[in-house]
Amino acid sequence: RTGAWSRLTPVRALKCTDIMLAASIAAALAALSVARPAVIGSEASRQALAHIHHTSSPHRRAALHAGLSLLSASLCFPPLAARAATITGDVGRKCTTASTPSATTVTCQGYGLAGGRVRSCAADEACLSTSAISNPSKFAPPWSPISAQEAADAARAWRSVAAAVAEEPGLRIVEQDDGGRYLRATGPSAVPTDGTDDVEFVLRDDGGVRLLYRSATRQSVFLYPLQQPVSNQQSHIDRLASIRRRLGWEEAGLPVDGPDLGRAMGDRYSVPTVTRWFGLELGGMRVPDEED
């Protein structure tokens, strides 16, 4: 017992200053390795250890040796990708993270149906979804057919949806369930350029034919020191608008903000002047100019 205790005494007797000194040297050597990686080699390590051995007390030597050992382990073994535990709190998204000195990329696979509906959007992902009710900036209204034939025949309407998605440039259908009227397509993302977008559609026929959808980028890129990911919403807006124009369907409810708002309101409600303010559609008939 006495021998075992005497061997533990140097570790037990370490002071906070010794531990802090070891951490400082390890940090300095790590910074030096980033600037000039060739400096941190076996010869440099042996010289550092020799200097510590001749100039430090036994306790301090133990702390510094421990610091250098940890540094060597961190340099020799690169970090593995870790699970992202605090990105959204939704473990169903299957998130992983990968970091570089300048950015962190969070990759999540949040596609798939939940209760027969597409999933919502996380606050930190580029995404549009008909299920994002609690997140107005990521909510998009369902689509419904204009033609009476498609409105009365869900199977015909679904064939039109599948054809419109298949014709969208850059998209490739990877899942299609005609029985459940669900499909998922993938395509390249705008940010990052080597990322992947998942675009999902599911047709519902309970109380009228309507199309639910979700478009999201798997990767969210956080640039240091920013705490928010690089914006990538517009690419989803443009792609979905292209599919809807090809399909020839309309959005349920009032049209969203945009350059086509006035024309859309005029075509649908015969209101030539309209503005949107805090979610309310305001407008009225123009008064014609008085004639002389």
Average pLDDT, the chain: 73
Do β-strands 103-107 and 96-99 pair in parallel, antiparallel, or remain unpaired? antiparallel
8-state DSSP, 139: B
**pLDDT computed for residue 64 by the predictor:** 54
- Looking at the DSSP assignment, which residues form a beta bridge with residue 222? 104
Structure tokens at 181: 């009227």
> What are the φ and ψ backbone dihedral angles of 233, each rounded to 5 degrees?
-70, -40
CB neighbour list of residue 227: distance below 8 Å, 6 or more residues apart: none
Is 137 within 8 Å of 155 (Cβ atoms)?
A: no
Nearest to 242 by CA among 141, 171, 147: 171
Lowest mean pLDDT segment, chosen from 133-137, 165-169, 195-199, 285-289: 285-289
Q: Does 279 score more than 60 pLDDT?
A: no
Q: What is the mean pLDDT of residues 259-283?
A: 48
The CA distance from 174 to 198, in Å, is 10
Structure tokens at 99: 């970091």
Lowest mean pLDDT segment, chosen from 51-55, 72-76, 113-117, 138-142: 72-76
**pLDDT computed for residue 80 by the predictor:** 39
- Looking at the DSSP assignment, which residues form a beta bridge with residue 183? 176, 201
With pLDDT > 90 as the criterion, what percentage of the chain qualifies?
45
**pLDDT computed for residue 53 by the predictor:** 53
The CA distance from 200 to 234, in Å, is 17
Q: Does 117 score more than 60 pLDDT?
A: yes
**pLDDT computed for residue 59 by the predictor:** 54
The CA distance from 115 to 105, in Å, is 29
Is 196 within 8 Å of 219 (Cβ atoms)?
A: yes
- How many other CB atoms are there within 10 angstroms of residue 272's CB atom? 13
**pLDDT computed for residue 54 by the predictor:** 57
The crossing angle, in degrees rounded to 10, of helices 16-35 and 58-76 is 30
Only one residue has tokens 């535990």, namely: 85
Q: What dihedral angle (degrees, nearest 10) is formed by the CA atoms of 52, 56, 62, 66?
A: -40
Q: What is the mean pLDDT of residues 257-268?
A: 53
Q: What is the mean pLDDT of residues 77-86?
A: 40
**pLDDT computed for residue 94 by the predictor:** 80
Helix (H, G, I), strand (E, B) or coil at 61: helix
More confident residue, 2 or 245: 245
Structure tokens at 120: 């919502």
pLDDT digits (tens, 9 = 90+) for 134-168: 889 999 999 999 999 999 999 999 999 999 999 99
- How many other CB atoms are there within 10 angstroms of residue 31's CB atom? 9
Q: What is the mean pLDDT of residues 256-270?
A: 52
Q: Which helix (H) or strand (E) is 277 found in, with range? A: strand 273-277
**pLDDT computed for residue 126 by the predictor:** 94
**pLDDT computed for residue 247 by the predictor:** 96
